[in-house]
């Protein structure tokens, strides 16, 4: 009997791996991610990109929900959650507030809230999903549920360097223990320095492409890629290509780390 003919391998699949996981940073292109099916989700899955098993102090993944998919019942897990819609729509309820989010829409669900998610649309929904334990601040009331959208969040220009940012959950708000910011770069722009700080990052490339410095090495990243940066990882970003670039950035802030 003749040997079976193997299926054709698409160009670039072998010998061109961009995925990288180190002790304190990781680069994960979307095509290598696998879905986790969870007992309390129906017609939905999470493609986890980082979690405490990698060394992070938070969990981040991409939620994919088919039409009609979402949580099987309202949940109360004691964790805080952030969702940012990449495509499709998502109905989100947290305690007595609820809304339907479209692409660019986001939700913050505080720890202790009773919450649920559902794709009430007709297309696949894709969303960034961040989960972590809340660290309370002395003398400061914990945050309430928040909904918003990228379109209605002010754009702040730092200087005339071509960099801009949007603080989706505000900044210097001591009730919050993390920020979610969109960092934007006009063509050819970069940060003024190599940053090294205690804050951790989960980065999702929303648009464009660039070169990301992680420790001593440069990595080309583009739309859909995920990067985890642990505390004190030297980091810098250069916007490459012919247009601008933007990424969504998790940053743990406003708390002592001792
Ligand atoms: O705010 C920040 O820490 C941000 N500039 N870091 C980054 O984009 N890697
Ligand atoms: Mn940073």
**pLDDT of amino acid 6:** 81
CA nearest ligand 1 atom 2, residue: 251
DSSP bridge pairs for 140: none
Report whether residue 238 contacts ligand 1, using a CB cutoff of 6 Å. Answer: no
Q: Locate tokens 């928040």: which residue?
A: 146
∠ Cα 213 230 101 (to 5°)? 90
Mutate to test the pocket of ligand 1, among 249, 252, 253 (most ligand atoms within 8 A of CB): 249
Q: Whose atoms come closest to the Cα of 238: which ligand?
A: 1
**pLDDT of amino acid 225:** 97
**pLDDT of amino acid 158:** 78
DSSP bridge pairs for 63: 46, 127
Report whether residue 195 contacts ligand 1, using a CB cutoff of 6 Å. Answer: yes
Q: Whose atoms come closest to the Cα of 214: which ligand?
A: 1
CA atoms within 13 A on the CB side of 197: 11
What sign does the dihedral 50-192-211-223 (CA atoms) show? positive
What is the whole-number distance in angstroms between the Cα of residue 34 and the centre of ligand 2?
27
Q: How far apart are CA 119 and CA 124, in angstroms?
A: 8
- Three-class SS state of 163: strand
Per-residue pLDDT of the chain (258 residues), as tens digits, is: 788 888 877 766 777 889 999 999 999 999 899 999 999 999 999 999 999 999 999 999 999 999 999 999 999 999 999 999 999 999 999 999 999 999 999 999 999 999 999 999 999 999 999 999 999 999 999 999 999 999 999 999 978 999 999 999 999 999 999 999 999 999 999 999 999 999 999 999 999 999 999 999 999 999 999 999 999 999 999 999 899 999 999 999 999 987
The ipTM is 0.99
**pLDDT of amino acid 249:** 99
**pLDDT of amino acid 12:** 65
Report whether residue 201 contacts ligand 1, using a CB cutoff of 6 Å. Answer: yes
Domains assigned to the chain = 20-252 (2.60.120.10)
What is the whole-number distance in angstroms between the Cα of residue 100 and the centre of ligand 2?
31
Mutate to test the pocket of ligand 1, among 179, 201, 203, 229 (most ligand atoms within 8 A of CB): 201
- Three-class SS state of 110: coil
Q: Which atom of ligand 1 is found nearest the CA of 236?
A: 9
Report whether residue 249 contacts ligand 1, using a CB cutoff of 6 Å. Answer: yes
């Amino acid at each position: 009997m003749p040997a079976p003919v193997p299926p054709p391998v698409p160009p670039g699949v072998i010998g061109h791996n961009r995925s990288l996981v180190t002790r304190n940073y990781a680069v994960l292109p979307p095509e290598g991610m696998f879905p986790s099916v969870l007992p309390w989700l129906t017609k939905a899955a999470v493609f986890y990109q980082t979690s405490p098993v990698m060394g992070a102090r938070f969990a981040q993944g991409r939620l994919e929900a088919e039409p009609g998919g979402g949580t099987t019942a309202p949940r109360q897990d004691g964790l805080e959650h952030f969702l940012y819609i990449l495509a499709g729509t998502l109905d989100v309820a947290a305690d007595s507030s609820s809304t339907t989010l479209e692409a660019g829409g986001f939700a913050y669900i505080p720890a202790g809230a009773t919450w649920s998610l559902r794709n009430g649309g007709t297309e696949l929904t894709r969303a960034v999903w961040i989960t972590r334990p809340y660290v309370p601040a002395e003398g400061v009331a914990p945050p309430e549920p928040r909904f918003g959208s990228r379109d209605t969040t002010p754009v702040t220009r730092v200087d005339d360097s071509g960099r801009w940012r949007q603080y989706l959950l505000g900044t210097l708000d001591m009730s919050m223990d993390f920020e979610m910011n969109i960092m934007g770069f006009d063509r050819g722009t970069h940060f003024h320095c190599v940053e090294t700080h205690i804050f951790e990052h989960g980065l999702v490339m929303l648009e464009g492409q660039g070169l990301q410095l992680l420790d001593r090495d440069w990595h080309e990243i583009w739309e859909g890629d995920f990067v985890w940066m642990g505390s004190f990882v030297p980091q810098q970003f250069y916007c490459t290509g012919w247009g601008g670039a933007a990424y969504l950035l998790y940053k743990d802030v406003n708390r002592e780390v001792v």
